[in-house]
Amino acid sequence: MLITPALVALHLIALCVSGALLLASGFAWTLLRHWDIASGSELQIRLERRTYLVSTLLGFVLGAELLSLLLFVHSAESLSSQFVGAMCATGVLNINAFGFPTLLLKIALFFLAALWLLLNRVDQQGHDYPLVRVKYALLLAIMPLALLELLLQSAYFLGLKPEVITSCCGSLFSAEGQGAAAELAGWPVRPALLAFYGMAGLLLGSGAALWRWPALGALFAAISGLTFVVAIAAIIAFLSLYVYENPNHHCPFCLLKAGYDYVGYALYLPLFAATAAGLGAGLLAPCRHIASLRRVMPGEMRWLTGVALAGFGAFYVLATALILRSNLILLG
Amino acid sequence: MPGASRYRDCDTVLLPAFPDQNEMRTWLERQNYLIDYTLAALLRRKTRNLGLLLVYTLLVFLFASVLLLSQGLRREAATLMQDAPELIVQKLNAGRHDLLPAAWLDTLRGIRGVSAVRGRLWGYYYDPAVKANYTLMVAPERGLTADAIMVGATLARVREVGVGDYLSLRAANGQPLPLKITALLDSTSELLSADLLLLSESAFHQLFQPPADTYTDAVLTVRNPREARTIAGKITLALPASRPILRAEILRTYDALFNWREGIVFLTLGTLLLAFLILAWDKAAGLSAEEKREIGILKAIGWETGDILRMKLWEGTLISLTAFLTGYALAYVQVFYGGARLFAPVLKGWAVLYPEFRLTPAVDLQQLLVLLAVTVLPYIVATLIPGWRAAIADPDAVMRG
């Protein structure tokens, strides 16, 4: 196993997040069984007070997951010098079977925590906490994922065995690494470009429709989620090629390096924020019928749709600019 | 207390929602007043908070020092290794390093992809006068005469010699060999040349008397650096007694070494982190009667539990930010301008003729993320629950004491 400060920090974050969520889910369980807004019992008052702690804990989880996601990718990147055949983060994540699942779980947890906080935001605006049971049921679903992340991440780190010269006289030339840097499969450029811009059209259409017909929230959420997947696939399939100006370099992580002006942050941050808002819009759309939320929901939905469209818009504008600026010709 | 009176103006808005611009502005103003109030409250209990702030800053300082120093060392090693040969070939005899026959150089030149091969002569010399090892190396490109040598700045300092002086070394046959210092090596390359002594091939032969037509090892220049690994494979096939060493492998070893040392120091500092967390928890949990009364009054005049919690979070954020920035800045100065005295013996390693060098200052994003994760994050965890406990207190209960 490797001991580096980044890995120690990642373990610490995973432990803090799992601890916070365990604490919150113990409470969620009591709440799901005993919550009764009409009651004035001591237990009910205690439960109401505890909700403040839980929402703060979830806010903390969201921040910690974001930090952990960034740190995880960065440390995979910086460990690439330690492994034969690993050129960048992709290679390091491929070293054992747990690398990519850990990354995907971190992304999933980030989105779930963001959705929980959106739900919480709306719930607190209704005088009778109408979404409290949905909220705490979601919390119980998030908790096992956090524990799984802790396990997978530990398994991944424990499985990292760097090949180094162990002594100046004993060791022989180290053997070529196996299976590392198995490049993510490329998708032919023309259909990928079509799908990429097709999604933009669909998204814009469904966003406009949602503005008019709030019942279409689920459709908008599904299209947002799909756009996220297509966008990541497009980054791997062609956008990275245009940025690196190299027809064989598909890595979605090297974009975060200083050598490419940290362009990855400008791409990923709006993409993640927009996806969270889009999914949130879909999740919250059914709440517009709840009596205590009828006043605030239209504003909330407009805000979420606006954030989603603005975020995706920023992503698409930047992506298009990168393609146009590039000296690489993939179609022609 | 200007903060509190200004706050009262805006406490009619209870929801932190900002679907439209107007509400966004109210939300921002609200946070502004909360910060204002929190700062005033922190300043009112100066000594109590100063203690925590000092310990917090010290903690960030220690962690940041370790990170900055080891990263600086890693970068220094990588920069130096850039000019190192792509591939070094040694001869092994019973698993030990042996002298390399000159005939091997032709075999190596015959391997496709190798553009140049050079035999090197070098060795170590133990000087009982300073109880240290020198590295002696033949430098044909310097055009030194038979009795001329060039020495590193550290070596010259320790032996108290200068240009024009004679340095007498004991040859393999026991006879003294006087050598004249014709120049000192540039002190900018001190990391490499601290214990280095350059001499001519004939002086090397007189001193060590190695068998004829042998070299210490051979360095290869490779046309395409990506082929280095394949070429190394071919060399082991052509010369089974050889050991090729790639530059990348040396770099990887350095990286692993510094990472490991850094990780160990980090783990040892973990105990300190734990102690700090207990302190932070204790400070946050043990509210004074005055603070309790204050929270009671705030709630009585209309503050919600959420507001108190938000104020507590701002308190943590402000303290963390101050401690983080101060600690990091102090560590930066200590490592890059103060000679990094604190952790240098552990992280750098130790030698009699240790070079003196200054690290190139740099700030790295990953480092900042790590530092945030190990200092600020645990602090927030430790103060969350006590902060919430304080926020849910009933106003009448706390005011009555």
Looking at the partner chain, which of B19, B96, B243 has a beta carbon nearest the beta carbon of A300?
Answer: B19
- Supply the pLDDT for residue A22: 92
DSSP of B214-243? EESEEEEEESSGGGHHHHHHHHHHH-TTEE
| Domain co-membership, A250 together with A300 | yes
- Supply the pLDDT for residue B365: 84
pLDDT tens for residues A244-293?
A: 888 777 778 888 887 888 888 899 999 999 999 999 998 888 888 888 88
CB-based contact A97:A39 (threshold 8 Å): no
- Supply the pLDDT for residue A55: 84
**Chain A neighbours among B 312-331 (CB < 8 Å)?**
313
Check B96 against A302: CB less than 8 A apart. no
Do the domain assignments include residue A234?
yes
| Domain co-membership, A145 together with A253 | no
Check A5 against B392: CB less than 8 A apart. no
Q: How far apart are CA A242 and CA A122, in angstroms?
A: 41
pLDDT tens for residues A10-56?
A: 999 999 999 989 988 998 898 888 888 888 888 888 888 888 888 88
- Supply the pLDDT for residue A178: 34
CB-based contact A247:A241 (threshold 8 Å): yes
User: Chain B contacts of A70, Cβ < 8 Å?
Assistant: 369
Instruction: Determine the distance in angstroms separating the CA of A6 from the nearest CA of chain B, rounded to an integer.
Output: 6
- Span B258-273, average pLDDT: 86
Instruction: Determine the distance in angstroms separating the CA of B37 from the nearest CA of chain A, rounded to an integer.
Output: 20
- Span B333-355, average pLDDT: 73
A80: confidence class by pLDDT, cuts 50, 70, 90: confident
Do the domain assignments include residue A183?
no
Check A74 against B366: CB less than 8 A apart. yes
Whether A233 has a pLDDT exceeding 90, the answer reads: no
Instruction: Determine the distance in angstroms separating the CA of B270 from the nearest CA of chain A, rounded to an integer.
Output: 10
B303: confidence class by pLDDT, cuts 50, 70, 90: confident
User: Chain B contacts of A81, Cβ < 8 Å?
Assistant: 248, 251-252, 255
Among candidate residues A158, A176, A208, the one where a domain is terminated: A158
- Supply the pLDDT for residue A184: 44
Looking at the partner chain, which of A67, A121, A300 has a beta carbon nearest the beta carbon of B369?
Answer: A67
Check A303 against B18: CB less than 8 A apart. yes
User: What whole-number percentage of chain A has pLDDT above 90?
Assistant: 30
Q: How far apart are CA B139 and CA B152, in angstroms?
A: 14
Which single residue is written with the structure tokens 């975060």?
A256
Helix, strand, or coil (residue B170): strand
Q: What is the torsion angle, in degrees rounded to the nearest 10, for the CA atoms of residue B318, residue B320, residue B322 and residue B325? A: -140
- Supply the pLDDT for residue A170: 27
- Supply the pLDDT for residue A95: 79
CB-based contact B374:B268 (threshold 8 Å): no
Q: How far apart are CA B327 and CA A222, in angstroms?
A: 46
- Supply the pLDDT for residue B318: 92
Neighbours of A31 (CB within 10 A): 24
pLDDT tens for residues B50-80?
A: 988 999 999 999 999 988 988 888 888 777 7
Among candidate residues A136, A158, A180, the one where a domain is terminated: A158
Looking at the partner chain, which of A53, A164, A168 has a beta carbon nearest the beta carbon of B252?
Answer: A164
Please report how the helices B305-336 and B21-44 are oriented relative to each other, as an axis angle in degrees rounded to 10: 70
Looking at the partner chain, which of B66, B266, B305 has a beta carbon nearest the beta carbon of A52?
Answer: B305
**Between these two residues, B157 and A223, which has the higher pLDDT value?**
A223
Do the domain assignments include residue A178?
no
Helix, strand, or coil (residue A41): coil
| Domain co-membership, A320 together with A217 | yes
Looking at the partner chain, which of A53, A81, A302 has a beta carbon nearest the beta carbon of B255?
Answer: A81
Do the domain assignments include residue A182?
no
A112-116, B77-81, B211-215: least confident range? B77-81
Looking at the partner chain, which of B19, B369, B381 has a beta carbon nearest the beta carbon of A303?
Answer: B19
Check B263 against A8: CB less than 8 A apart. yes
At position B147, the amino acid (one-letter code) is: D
- CB under 8 A, 24+ apart: contacts of B174-180: B177/B203, B177/B206, B177/B207, B178/B147, B179/B147, B179/B148, B179/B149, B179/B203, B180/B147, B180/B148, B180/B149
User: What whole-number percentage of chain B has pLDDT above 70?
Assistant: 90
A179: confidence class by pLDDT, cuts 50, 70, 90: very low
DSSP of A266-277? HHHHHHHHHHHH
Q: Which domains does chain B have, with CATH numbers?
A: 2-80+253-400 (no CATH), 85-246 (2.40.40.20)
Do the domain assignments include residue A107?
yes
- Span B250-273, average pLDDT: 85
Whether A169 has a pLDDT exceeding 50, the answer reads: no
**Between these two residues, A245 and B340, which has the higher pLDDT value?**
A245
DSSP of A281-301? HHHHGGGGGSGGGTTTHHHHH
Element spanning B175, H or E: none
- Supply the pLDDT for residue A197: 93
- Supply the pLDDT for residue A182: 37
User: Chain B contacts of A16, Cβ < 8 Å?
Assistant: 377-378, 381
DSSP code of residue A126: S
| Domain co-membership, A209 together with A291 | yes
B253 touches chain A (CB under 8 A): yes
Neighbours of A317 (CB within 10 A): 11
What domain count does chain A have?
A: 2
| Domain co-membership, A306 together with A250 | yes
**Between these two residues, A109 and A77, which has the higher pLDDT value?**
A109
| Domain co-membership, A201 together with A153 | no
| Domain co-membership, A248 together with A297 | yes
Whether A177 has a pLDDT exceeding 50, the answer reads: no
- Span A238-247, average pLDDT: 85
Query: Domain span at residue A226?
Result: 189-325
Do the domain assignments include residue A164?
no
A101-110, B254-263, B272-281: least confident range? B254-263
Closest residue in chain A to residue B255, using alpha carbons only: A82
Do the domain assignments include residue A170?
no
- Span B298-317, average pLDDT: 87
| Domain co-membership, A207 together with A148 | no
Check B381 against A16: CB less than 8 A apart. yes
CB-based contact A278:A308 (threshold 8 Å): yes
- Supply the pLDDT for residue A313: 94
Among candidate residues A139, A158, A177, the one where a domain is terminated: A158
Helix, strand, or coil (residue B90): strand
| Domain co-membership, A239 together with A295 | yes
Check B245 against A10: CB less than 8 A apart. no
| Domain co-membership, A146 together with A197 | no
Check A12 against B373: CB less than 8 A apart. yes
Q: How far apart are CA B145 and CA B180, in angstroms?
A: 10
- Supply the pLDDT for residue A60: 86
Q: How far apart are CA B366 and CA A74, in angstroms?
A: 6
Whether A153 has a pLDDT exceeding 50, the answer reads: yes
Whether A180 has a pLDDT exceeding 60, the answer reads: no
Do the domain assignments include residue A163?
no
